Amino acid sequence: MHHPLSSLIDQIVANAERRGDFKDLPGAGKPLPHLDDPQNAVLNRMMKEADAKSPVIVLRRQILEAHERLKGLTDEAARKVEMARLADLQMKLAIEMEAFRKYG
């Protein structure tokens, strides 16, 4: 399948090659590292370099923390507040997971 930007991408790469932008790159001549998810490799690398986390990971961590806080609460009013917060986090996680299933 032909990508609509293929010719533009080819032109940009050819210009970069003519300028010598690809000379002396780190890792030149070495095999590419194994990619578990080649379709999202660039996005995953950018997120790793920026120490970014997906909303699902952040929400799961917050849910675990809320469970731990709930274990230590004895005051009924504080427990209700924490349970409401936990329910809200679980709902957000369910929405994120559904969006991921639908749209990837």
- How many CB atoms are closer than 10 A to CB 73? 14
- How many CB atoms are closer than 10 A to CB 24? 7
**pLDDT tens digits, residue range 51-103?**
888 888 899 999 999 999 999 999 999 999 999 999 999 999 999 999 988 88
Q: In the numeric block, which tokens belong to residue 29?
A: 């001549």
Cα–Cα distance, 80 to 70 (Å, whole number): 9
**pLDDT tens digits, residue range 7-64?**
888 899 899 999 988 888 888 888 777 667 777 777 777 888 888 888 888 999 999 9
Report the number of secondary-structure helices (H) and strands (E) in the chain. 4, 0
Q: Are 82 and 63 in contact (CB under 8 A)?
A: no
